[in-house]
Structure 1
Amino acid sequence: MRLAFLDDSEQTDPIREGLGHLRALGTVIFPEAQVAGYADDLAGIRAEIGIPAGEEIKWKPAKGSFLARAGGEAVTALRRRMLEAAIAREARSIVVIIDHSAVYTSRGAAEVGQELLKWLFERLSMHLSDHGDLGIVVADKPGGGSKEEKKWLADTLRLTNDGTEYVPPGQVVLPIVTADSQHVPHLQLADLITAATTAAIAGRKSALDLGPLLAKLMHRHRLDAVNGAGLVLFPEKYNLLFWCFGETSWAKPSAQTGWALPHPDWAYGTSDGLAP
């Protein structure tokens, strides 16, 4: 059994040229035997840094919180240690990112959110199948109160009951449940991974500095590449895998073929799109 923890993120105004409003949904997946161990790891990290017991770890710390006052070095150290502990605990990540300014422009935020959820569910099911395992999904409570939460859960129920056109139901064995991320350390890690991955695509330096660690966490398909497996970008801008995460290849399992990155004929073939 594997446990997947799910959270969302967005970047409304990326500094990377050619990108618009990025919306994302991501998950971090733990083997069952490593779940308690990671909670212990994070408790130890919190104690060493001095983070108060009741304070939630967020990519964007709450105003006036310990982490908001701690300074960049302490926050960066915390993020790196959280990711390193997750790697040591055999966790894997999947993040789906849509540039809403370029695609689905006639659809509202809720419809784009449903598309993100479907794509993430498909990759999660494939990940579980690759490991011959089953999974349970725990998501951070969506904003908007109980009415919004009930609607969101109804959308997820269709996936767990019926699957999609690409993956059958069955790998995720229970309806998706929600929890308050303040009390679930693995959801705080999901917040970090999803937000940092999205921020790296957007061109934020604090996230780009974490790129190599994020890449180690990403699920890979059978040709050992992350595209379409641990990271889905739409529209597809494959060279950003190189600029953001140091990936040197893009591969297509169905065709048993691939290309070296950066590819000069694709977007961002000769530049990362960031101002000098």
Structure 2
Amino acid sequence: MQIPAAFEYERATSVEHALELLHARGPEARLLAGGHSLLPMMKLRLAAPEALVDIDALAGELGYVREEGDEVRIGAMTRHRDILESGLVAARLTIFTDAEKLIADPVVRNRGTIGGALCQADPAEDLSAVCAVLRARLVVRGLDGERTLTMQELHRGPYETTIGDAEMLVEIRVPLHMGGGSAYEKVKRRVGDWAIAAAGAAVRLEGGTIADAGVALTAVGGDVMSERAQASLVGRPPTEDAFAAAATLAAEDCSPTTDQRGSAEYKRHLAHELTLRALRSATARALREEI
């Protein structure tokens, strides 16, 4: 039987209370949101926090999806299920709906949260690529105030973030300017499994050319964002040649490793093909928005 190491348990009743508990407990404390990533790691002794601060009661305070101005704001405790079922997200941030359909299974989606997923910093986690594609801003709060990060600034490396010991992610702010023309593609071994490889793309069209683009990859190493692929698309018409060139750059920029899910060569092939498919779907959706 897999049993985690001993730990102390606290239950937060507000964001401020959670921050106070983190400050009091020190660097060996961890937040517990949905628990579907942290608890399995604790059972395997891959993580051994001295204290858990349970923030499940904060779902009412930090569980929301709402449009404000030119962006959609998503509370960090919003469940995957609620994002998947959101009409606003389906209409304005299509890539989120694509990805949420492919995340784990209903049991996980009913409990897992977007904040927990992003802060786990798992290289095979889907929503990090989704947020990177859409240039989301992440609001991190501490006892002394708030700061805002990009996805690139949030993740220090696999399973590491730049969030401080007495800070927590409270909100994800997603610009709307490319959300409707976006898509996510994923290959996995079986339903509910982590990705072998996945790709997200977003396209904004102006006057028949690509005015802005986002491309990001999941589970294939390297940086999530493919800056070269994005730059290669801007100013070009949305053609197969443009998509193929961008997909080639994205595949070159990743650094997959051979493991039980497949060879590095196979994963690089998937990175190319899934980027191509995501760009096609994203552009088709962007064209429908223009009509």
Q: Which bin holds the TM-score, normalised by the shorter protein?
A: under 0.3
Which of 1 and 2 has greater Rg? 2
TM-score, length of structure 2 as denominator length: 0.26
Relative to its length, the structure with more strand (as a share) is: 2
